[in-house]
Copies of this chain bind each other. A is one copy, B any other.
Amino acid sequence: MTVSRALNGRPGVAGSTRQRVLAAAAALGYRPNKQASRLRTGKPDGLVGLVLATLADPLIASLTVGVEQTCAENGARIVLASSNGDPATEGDLIADLVARGVDGLIVVPAGDDHTHLNVGQRSGVPLVLARCPPAGVVADCVVVDEARGAYRACRHLFEQGHRRIGFLGSTRSWAGSERFRGYHLAHGHAEVAVDDRMVCRAREVAEVAENAARGMLTSADPPSALLVAGPSSLLGVLRAVAAQPPVAVVGFDVECADVVPYPLGVVSHDSVELGRAAAGLLFDQRRPSAAPRQVTIETSLVQTGPAPK
């Protein structure tokens, strides 16, 4: 129809006709059906699927803000879904989103293996992983430089004269293992040996970390600083060290750090920027054959309250 041309601003329509069409459309509140349009053209219609492992974690949820910003700039919308930490649900969601015709997919994976994410790949829908590198699937990704964050934290502590740094937190997740890797690297470069008795890589439970920290601090040769890789572990550690600061504590991604009644070093990053980068990878169309890209978000180290000696 001429109407289609007029509304889409295509050439080949008389100015007067165009006016009449636009006027009529406005009067009737007419809106072209984007789904039918896409069905015919096959072209992307600006829908990005966002699958999060959880919506409850503010750190993960805040990445939505960045994704939304970049999507809005590109005239796209987000279809949001939560896998609730279940990889099977994750697979179903991706299949559903692909069936709904999303142009791209951003996923914060629930598990370590991402083979099931191929469901979308086969349909030719671009995939970007957020917060961890791909495993079992080829895809672009945006990750936080956790290892360097931990490395810098340790170096900072070494420069302050610390020689025995304890490590607490699960290393089962990608982030946890990277933090542990950075911890090791820093020790290597500083030529300080890692004492396994100062390392507790148990699962993320406050009580476990609390006991482990107590054990380290009351041992014959206690650490003067603690690097705490997980949120629950940090809770436990803070209970163990109580209000008095005889030991330097560094944590990751702590919210309201400046209201914690204990001086704290915090390694953090810009989660909104991470979201923007992820969406950016999607819109910055990659050639299907090119090598997968990886964007790295840097961390910063901030000290709250007076640093304990």
Contacts and interface: CB of A to CB of B under 8 A. Distances in A.
Contacts of A72: 81-82
A33 interface: yes
A219 interface: no
Nearest to A36: B39
Given A77-B79, A80-B64, A100-B35, A58 B58 contact: yes
Interface string A85-100: 0000000000111111
A221 to B, nearest CB: 33
Interface residues of A, number: 41
| A interface, over-half SS | mixed
A119 interface: yes
Contacts of A38: 35
A21 interface: no
Interface in A85-124: 95-101, 119, 122-123
A68 interface: yes
Contacts of A100: 34-35, 45, 47, 77
A259 interface: yes
A78 B96 CA distance: 12
Interface of A: 29, 31-36, 38-39, 45, 47, 50, 55-56, 58, 61, 64-65, 68, 72, 77-82, 95-101, 119, 122-123, 255-256, 259-261
8 contacts: A29-B119, A35-B38, A35-B100, A65-B82, A68-B82, A77-B81, A78-B80, A261-B261
